[in-house]
Amino acid sequence: MIEYQHNVHVYYRDVDQMGIVYYTRYFEYFEEARTELLRSIGISVTDIEKNGYFLPVISCSCKYKYPAKFDEELNIFTKITEEPRSTLKIEYIIRNSNDILCVNGETIHTFINKNGKIVKPPKIITEKLRG
């Protein structure tokens, strides 16, 4: 449906004492890539929230395959393969500059309104994902 590639550079703040990307940092990379994926199709997270919708994460997973290291360039491949209903699933694959798979994962989000009630996705999202 929608795919996007986002690149990040591994900084010293991202790694543990062994120079390997700290495991929780991948979820931050996912968030950054997710924001850029939506921006690439003309959806601003800020605009979604101004219209009274929010997308909290209700599930997340990450499978670690190969360690990413300090000073590497990582390629994050992000995609949405299913039309959202009450949830939105986003998949992630992170490869290093040698095209080695480092991690894969996903986040699942639900759509809620300002009162925290689960709602259908706003038209701005469904239209952009279809188009």
Give the DSSP letter string of the chain: -EEEEEEEE--GGGB-TTSBB-TTHHHHHHHHHHHHHHHHTT--HHHHHHTT-B--EEEEEEEE-S--BTT-EEEEEEEE-S--SSEEEEEEEEEETT--EEEEEEEEEE-B-TTS-B-PPPHHHHHHHH-
Average pLDDT over residues 8-18: 97
**C-alpha–C-alpha distance, residues 91 and 33, integer Å:** 10
Q: Is 14 a catalytic residue?
A: no
Query: pLDDT tens-digit profile of 32-82?
Result: 999 999 999 999 999 899 999 999 999 999 999 999 999 999 999 999 999
Position 123 scores a pLDDT of 87
Average pLDDT over residues 86-105: 97
Q: Which of 14, 16, 47, 71 is catalytic?
A: 16
Position 1 scores a pLDDT of 81
38: nearest Cα among 9, 72, 73, 6: 6
Give the chain's domains with CATH numbers: 2-130 (3.10.129.10)
